[in-house]
Amino acid sequence: MEPIFEINENSEKRFMQGKINLIIRLYFYLKEGVNQASGFRTIGYALIGIAGVLAVNGDSNWLLLILLGLASIPMFIYIGWLWVARGKKSEEYYQLKYTSSFGKYAIQMNERQMQLLEEIKDELKKLNDNNSR
């Protein structure tokens, strides 16, 4: 049996293929893109300023504002994809690299626990093989 969290052929089929998964991925990328854009407050302030100018101006073209909003969706999807494909991995690496002493200790304890469980499994397998003879 394959581990649950391992990326393999079955997980690729289950999570990457098909129209529903494509829609879910696009939504995920859109959400991540918007989350990243919200981190850049100056971009938000600039968009609010543009919308304010268009709203105050009596002959503003609301269709232009709607089209600008719709045109920004692919950009947010791309930013989200970029963040998911590269940014999160780098961020997680930096978090692990610069974690506190307590965080490093917890990671070391988890690694040690996995090592001990592997040793216990090997010993139980040996014991089972000896008893079955």
Torsion of CA 10, 12, 18, 21, to 10 degrees: 120
Question: Between these two residues, 73 and 50, which has the higher pLDDT value?
Answer: 73
Q: What is the mean pLDDT of residues 46-72?
A: 76
What is the tens place of the pLDDT at every residue in 6-34?
556 776 676 677 788 788 888 888 888 88
Cα distance between residue 79 and residue 71, in whole Å: 14
List the domain boundaries for the chain. Answer: 1-90, 99-133
What residue has token string 């008893």? 131
pLDDT at 114 over 90: yes
For 75-97, b where at least 16 C-beta lie within 10 A, e where not — what string? ebbebbbebbeeeeeeeeeeeee
Phi, psi of 116 (to 5 degrees): -65, -40
Q: State residue 30's pLDDT score.
A: 86
Contact 27, 21 (CB under 8 A): no
pTM of the model: 0.48
